């Protein structure tokens, strides 16, 4: 299917289906910041309540098929947010890849074109919700359900809950809230995991509490400080707390590193600024893609193992992966064993080569996905040069032409793509192996989201104090 045919087909489908799609209306005028923060709180409260509401008719499966992606999808097993934001993220990434590879051609400078693309993404999200709900409900919970009607109800719950989550995200993005619902839900999920690891007073398997701070207080009262630095069974420890703080500081520091290229306006005489190219130019998308790839490999390996090699006796299947029969979510051999992290120092110490191999694997795969995302996600030097020229700016000393500006940007973008991807891969791999609170990918997402929210709040304050300057900063 050619680019023109695909885009035309999408426009036709959107035109015919848009009147029937439920929509969250935009506010008639821009709401005060306090009101938008309140709406964010309401949306988050609804999401958290759904996360504590169990699925009717669901029995707990033998192991968690989505354990690998709970942080990315902000989901909770056995609840209404079983799928979390997974369908929204999947549909969004798919549409961005189609646009970045120029299979779909939309001009985002035109509001109508941008609206068609957003509606098309919404339609794809509905399709993904239906498919994922049916497949996941049938494959994971279906074997434990005897009545077909109960299975239909369970699948209906997954679909309905996912549609509600999509509406909550749309509510926030359309101006009732601040930022996006996806970011808000991920941030809350990771923060909840970290706070739970730090403050939880519930008992743990070693006789202490789950939270490290209550455990330290308990150890001081008992006069036994031996186990607070390192704890067994991957429980939160002082080492884990210090490591989490250290990784957070590194991420915050690297987020501020950038190369600034001077630019001047060809439209407004005397206007000059800088075009920043961040060290983390590719953001966290390559890490998410790498994690999703690894997770899918594990998921497929589990399916093959359960059906063809449950006793680990098939020599060929053992090359792909072997799993512990008493805990099928734990790989014990094969290629899958080496592309999954040995979480915790104890586990890593049992097989140091696996830990080192996993970190190297994460660095390599994140660099590969980083390079791909720059090309497919519209971040290439060619696209960046075109965006600069379209914005009526140029770089002093260079002709106002795509090629010379593209060559200049390529020197910086190629370098920061590789270096930034290597740093992200190393941080994610080391964090997962050493057992930081909230997981390595969770910390990466948390810092990125918090910085984006901070920048948005600064912009909002500028708009309140200096409306004209805020409008200028808000221009795309």
Determine contact, residues 284/424, Cβ cutoff 8 Å: yes
- Among the listed residues 104, 450, 16, the one whose alpha carbon sits nearest the alpha carbon of residue 252: 450
| Phi, psi for residue 378 in degrees, rounded to 5 | 75, 25
DSSP 209: B
Measuring CA to CA, which residue among 269, 262, 258, 265 is closest to residue 390? 265
Cβ distance 257 to 302 under 8 Å? no
**Long-range pairs, 8-11, Cβ under 8 A, ≥24:** 10/104, 10/116, 10/120, 11/116
Two tokens, residue 359: 């970190």
SS3 string, 245-311, reads: HHHHHHHHHHHCCEEEEEEEECCCCCCEEEEEEECCCCCCHHHHHHHHHHHHHHHHHHHHHHHHCCC
Q: What is the pLDDT of residue 471?
A: 46
Q: How many CB atoms lie within 10 A of CB 388?
A: 20
Domains of the chain: 3-16+35-54+62-178 (1.10.3370.10), 237-476 (1.10.3370.10)
pLDDT at 331: 81
pLDDT of residue 45: 94
The CA distance from 242 to 237, in Å, is 9
CA angle (291 as vertex; 277, 419 as ends), nearest 5: 30
- Residue with the two structure tokens 């207080």: 217
Which helix (H) or strand (E) segment is 273 a member of?
A: strand 272-278
d(CA 383, CA 101): 12
**Phi, psi of 209, rounded to the nearest 5 degrees:** -100, 160
Which pLDDT does position 47 carry in this prediction? 93
Mean pLDDT, 10 residues at a time, the chain of 476 residues: 67 82 86 90 93 86 68 85 86 77 72 82 91 86 82 93 93 88 87 88 78 85 75 81 90 84 74 79 78 74 78 83 77 84 82 90 89 78 81 74 82 89 89 84 85 82 56 44
Q: How many CB atoms lie within 10 A of CB 243?
A: 18
Distance CA 201, CA 307 (A): 41
Whether the Cβ atoms of residue 370 and residue 417 lie closer than 8 Å to each other: yes
pTM, full prediction: 0.78
Radius of gyration of the chain measured on its C-alpha atoms: 24
Unique residue bearing structure tokens 């989901």: 75
Backbone dihedral angles phi then psi of residue 349, each to the nearest 5 degrees = -65, -30
Report the pLDDT value the prediction gives residue 469, as an integer from 0 to 100.
42
CA distance 218 to 379: 51
Q: Are 337 and 331 in contact (CB under 8 A)?
A: yes
CA–CA dist 356, 348 (Å, integer): 9
Which helix (H) or strand (E) element contains residue 275? strand 272-278
pLDDT at res. 465: 58
- List CB contacts of 202: < 8 A, sequence separation 6 or more: 209, 210, 211
For strand 258-265 and strand 272-278, is the pairing parallel, antiparallel, or unpaired?
A: antiparallel
Find out whether 321 and 334 touch, Cβ atoms under 8 Å.
yes
Q: What is the pLDDT of residue 154?
A: 92
Give residues with Cβ within 8 angstroms of 312, minimum separation 6. 305, 318, 322, 323, 325, 332, 333
For 385, phi and psi rounded to 5 degrees? -65, -40
Q: How many CB atoms lie within 10 A of CB 50?
A: 18
Q: Which residue in the block uniquely carries the two structure tokens 């983390």? A: 280
| Spatial distance between the Cα atoms of 175 and 197, rounded to a whole number of angstroms | 34
CA distance 119 to 131: 19
Q: Using alpha carbons, list the distances in angstroms from residue 472 to 73, 84, 109, 392, 462.
A: 34, 36, 16, 14, 10
Contact 65, 301 (CB under 8 A): no
């Amino acid at each position: 299917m050619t680019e023109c045919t695909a885009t035309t087909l999408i426009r036709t489908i959107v035109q015919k289906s848009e009147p029937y799609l439920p929509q969250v209306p935009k506010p008639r005028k821009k709401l005060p910041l306090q009101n938008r923060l309140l709406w964010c709180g309401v949306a988050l409260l609804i999401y958290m309540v759904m996360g504590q509401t169990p699925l009717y008719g669901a029995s707990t499966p033998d192991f968690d098929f989505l354990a690998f992606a709970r942080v990315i999808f902000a989901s909770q097993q056995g609840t209404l947010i079983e799928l979390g934001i997974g369908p929204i993220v999947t549909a969004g990434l798919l549409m961005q890849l189609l646009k970045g590879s120029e299979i779909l051609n939309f001009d985002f400078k035109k509001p109508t074109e941008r609206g068609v693309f957003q509606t098309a993404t919404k339609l794809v999200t509905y399709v993904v919700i239906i498919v994922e709900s049916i497949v996941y409900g049938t494959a994971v919970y279906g074997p434990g359900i005897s009545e077909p009607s109960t299975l239909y109800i369970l699948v209906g719950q997954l679909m309905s809950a996912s549609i509600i989550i999509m509406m909550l995200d749309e509510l926030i993005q359309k101006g009732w809230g601040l930022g996006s619902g996806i970011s808000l839900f991920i941030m809350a999920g990771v923060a909840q995991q970290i706070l739970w690891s730090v403050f939880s007073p519930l008992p743990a398997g070693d006789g202490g509490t789950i939270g490290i701070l209550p455990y330290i207080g308990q150890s001081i009262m008992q006069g036994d400080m031996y186990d607070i630095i390192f704890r067994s069974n991957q429980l939160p420890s002082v080492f884990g707390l210090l490591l989490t703080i250290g990784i957070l500081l590194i991420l915050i520091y690297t987020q501020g590193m950038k190369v600034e290229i001077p630019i001047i306006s060809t439209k407004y005489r005397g206007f000059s600024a800088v075009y920043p190219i961040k060290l983390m130019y590719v953001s966290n998308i390559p890490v998410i893609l790498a994690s999703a790839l690894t997770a899918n490999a594990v998921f497929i390996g589990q399916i093959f193992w359960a059906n063809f090699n449950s006793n680990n006796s098939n020599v060929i299947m053992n090359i792909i992966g072997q799993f512990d029969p008493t805990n099928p979510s734990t790989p014990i051999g094969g290629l899958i064993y080496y592309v999954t992290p040995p979480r915790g120092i104890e586990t890593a110490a049992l097989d140091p080569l696996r830990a080192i191999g996993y970190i190297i694997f994460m660095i390599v795969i994140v660099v590969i996905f980083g390079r791909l995302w720059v090309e497919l996600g519209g971040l290439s030097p060619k696209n960046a040069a075109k965006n600069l020229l379209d914005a009526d700016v140029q770089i002093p000393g260079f002709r106002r032409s795509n090629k010379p500006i593209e060559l200049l940007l390529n020197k910086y973008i190629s370098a920061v793509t590789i270096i930034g991807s290597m740093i992200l891969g190393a941080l994610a791999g080391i964090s997962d192996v050493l057992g930081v609170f909230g997981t390595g990918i969770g910390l990466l997402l948390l810092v990125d989201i918090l910085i984006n929210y901070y920048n948005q709040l600064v912009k909002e304050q500028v708009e309140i104090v200096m409306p004209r300057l805020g409008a200028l900063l808000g221009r795309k």
